[in-house]
Amino acid sequence: RAIPRRSGLARRCMSSWDAWRIARSIDADVFHFHDPDLLPWMVLLKIMGRSVVYDSHENFIVRFYQWSLPGWLRSPLARIFRSCERWSVRRFDGFIAPDHHIYSLFEADCRDGAVIRNTHDLDRLDAEVVRQPRDPFPVLYTSGSNLPDRHCEEMIRAMPIILNELPNCRLRFAGYYDRDYKDYLKRLARELNVSEQLDLWDAEPYFTHFGRSFRATVGCIFLQNNPKNRNANSNRLFEYMYCGLPVLAENLPGPRSVVESEQCGLIIDSSHPEAIAEAFVYLVKHPEVAQEMGARGERAVRARYHYGVDLKELTALYSRIISTHQAGNA
């Protein structure tokens, strides 16, 4: 049931009201939501006797430290929000998190729950994606939301070093850019005389995007070491693994846990352009190593890191909630 597209305060207030109004008129088995703006409305829905699942896509209290708030307000507001969040979770029927770290923050409060990762639907990808051939030159690649905390600037600063060893390589960004950040990256590339080797591709539809990811040589998961990123696991990682790309991943618990266990890439500190350059040059100059890493990543995705696996966890959670609800009404 669609609601009008809105942004800003209108989305947070009016859209939440619309969602609540529609939800209370529907006789669904389970109401599954993830927007924290809906927490008070979903508590009301639970009071009405409905089965509600809260899906926390991220550690939301980090937002309070990213917003332009007075420093003295950030911690108190974050603590208040977390208290309200935990109070709500204790009343809901289920809790879902994208990783074990976020799940652990609420495990003592939730009645039931599951970890549902940010993985991809292999059946849809295999059916819809047109696999483009690898480019004939080395491509250092990153996709998704290209933001300052993804160390995009450091990647550009690594290019002069890389070009000394690989003069025909390219650096490629694909996806979204934060405000004027794309223009900043262009200016930086000009200052470093690497503009000719830089591709700044805009976002494409999902399946088209996957198709062009196949063209790269190495996929990058670079993240600043901050509370938001420390335990996160981006779906970019599983995108690159699906495409058979060896991965350069940040030395943080989330990406490191997958890349090290599956031996599908290298772990580096991407805050240092020299580390990016050294790792990329190594993989290009050792194609047999890079190819085996990519193959291991693809095998791991097909065996363990795909939505078919996570869907079983999700439907099992739904089944338990529905059975409990029915037993309570018997």
Structure confidence by residue, pLDDT tens digits, 107-142 = 999 999 999 998 999 999 999 999 999 999 999 999
199 strand-pairing partners: 172
Residue 58: per-residue pLDDT:
84
Please determine, for residue 316, whether its predicted confidence score (pLDDT) is greater than 90: yes
| DSSP summary character for residue 249 | E
CB 6 within 8 A of CB 15: yes
Dig out the tokens for 307 from the structure. Answer: 């939505």
Task: State the average pLDDT for the chain.
Answer: 94
Structure confidence by residue, pLDDT tens digits, 269-311 = 999 999 999 999 999 999 999 999 999 999 999 999 999 999 9
Residue 67: per-residue pLDDT:
78
Residue 126: per-residue pLDDT:
96
CB 114 within 8 A of CB 93: no
Structure confidence by residue, pLDDT tens digits, 162-197 = 999 999 999 999 999 988 999 999 999 999 999 999
Of 73 and 165, more confident: 165
Structure confidence by residue, pLDDT tens digits, 196-226 = 999 999 999 999 999 999 999 999 999 988 7
Residue 60: per-residue pLDDT:
84
Rg (CA), the chain: 22
Backbone angles phi, psi at 243, to 5 degrees: -80, 0
Dig out the tokens for 25 from the structure. Answer: 């008129």
Cβ neighbours for 42, distance < 8 A, ≥ 6 positions apart: 20, 31, 33, 52, 54, 88, 92
* Rounded percentage of the chain residues whose pLDDT exceeds 90: 82
Residue 319: per-residue pLDDT:
97
User: How many C-beta atoms surround the C-beta of residue 127 within 10 A?
Assistant: 9
User: Could you give the CA distance from residue 131 to residue 231 in angstroms, rounded to a whole number?
Assistant: 31
Residue 192: per-residue pLDDT:
98
CB 138 within 8 A of CB 285: no
Predicted structure pTM score? 0.88
Dig out the tokens for 292 from the structure. Answer: 């085996």
Residue 9: per-residue pLDDT:
83
Dig out the tokens for 17 from the structure. Answer: 């009201």
Dig out the tokens for 14 from the structure. Answer: 């009016």
Please determine, for residue 328, whether its predicted confidence score (pLDDT) is greater than 90: no
| DSSP summary character for residue 305 | S
Please determine, for residue 69, whether its predicted confidence score (pLDDT) is greater than 90: no
Cβ neighbours for 20, distance < 8 A, ≥ 6 positions apart: 38, 41, 42, 44, 45
Residue 320: per-residue pLDDT:
97
Dig out the tokens for 175 from the structure. Answer: 């996806």
The residue type at 132: Q
Buried b / exposed e along 282-312 (16+ C-beta atoms within 10 A): ebbeeeeebeebbebbbebbeeebbbeebee
SS3 244: coil
The residue type at 133: P
| DSSP summary character for residue 62 | G
Residue 119: per-residue pLDDT:
93
Cβ neighbours for 306, distance < 8 A, ≥ 6 positions apart: 119, 120, 121, 122, 238
pLDDT tier at 151, thresholds 50, 70, 90: very high
DSSP letters for 68-101: S--HHHHHHHHHHHHHHHHHHHTTSSEEEESSHH
Residue 293: per-residue pLDDT:
98
pLDDT tier at 57, thresholds 50, 70, 90: confident
